[in-house]
Amino acid sequence: MAENSFSSSSSRQPHRLFLPLMIGGGVSVVLTLFAIGYLTLTTPEPVPDDIYTIMQKAKAKAEADKAGNSKDAETAIPENATLLPDGTFDFAKYSYYSFPLPFVSNLASGKGMLTVEVAVATYGNTLASEKVMKQLETFNPKIRSAINLKLSDQNLSDIDTVDKRNKLAKTLLQEVKLLVDGPNMDGPSAITDFHFVKFVISGAQ
């Protein structure tokens, strides 16, 4: 009788150990997966460079390329661009200065009136264009006077065709260049074009 009870209790012993082992193993697996997921998902990404650092790196690279005088450095800068100190490019473009008031003048014959609106174009990067715009504003009265005198010297026969008006525009372009650049101009002028935005002849006979 005692033997039977000992054998039944010993046969139940593995069953009692099996359940805690299963629970412990499951908890271990869950904790391991949690630890792996936590470490994977919470690893901080590298902080990107701020704009100041990026600009400093670009400037350093540009200076290194310039110092190296390599062909790659020469081809890296587009033809119509200027490399700024911060490593960015300033592309050349057309800028226009429009005179705020129209030009009104009598024709040389005294019979008829000419009313024109004028714009002057310059081609260059931002800094160069801004400089020219300031010069045009500074010389505005002098330029208006020169244009008015030239217009008042015209007869109807001098401006009655498109070709003659284009010729007048070229003449006025030279007048503006002379006033802005001066008589002893070195190199090409920053003033590139002279445009008639409006051209009206009235009262001519």
Q: Are residues 101 and 183 in the same domain?
A: yes
Q: What is the pTM of this model?
A: 0.56
Report the amino acid identity of residue 104. V
Q: Are residues 99 and 187 in the same domain?
A: yes
Residues 143, 151, 100, 125, CA torsion sign = negative
Structural domain count of the chain: 3
Residue 22, domain extent: 1-43
Closest CA to 103 of 41, 31, 49, 175: 175
Per-residue pLDDT of the chain (205 residues), as tens digits, is 445 544 555 555 556 666 677 777 777 877 888 777 666 666 555 556 666 676 677 777 767 666 655 444 444 555 555 555 555 555 678 889 999 899 999 999 888 899 999 999 988 777 788 888 898 999 899 999 999 999 999 999 999 999 999 999 999 999 998 888 877 667 678 888 999 999 999 987 6
Q: Are residues 34 and 64 in the same domain?
A: no
- What CATH number did the domain enclosing 155 receive? 3.30.479.30
Q: Are residues 169 and 193 in the same domain?
A: yes
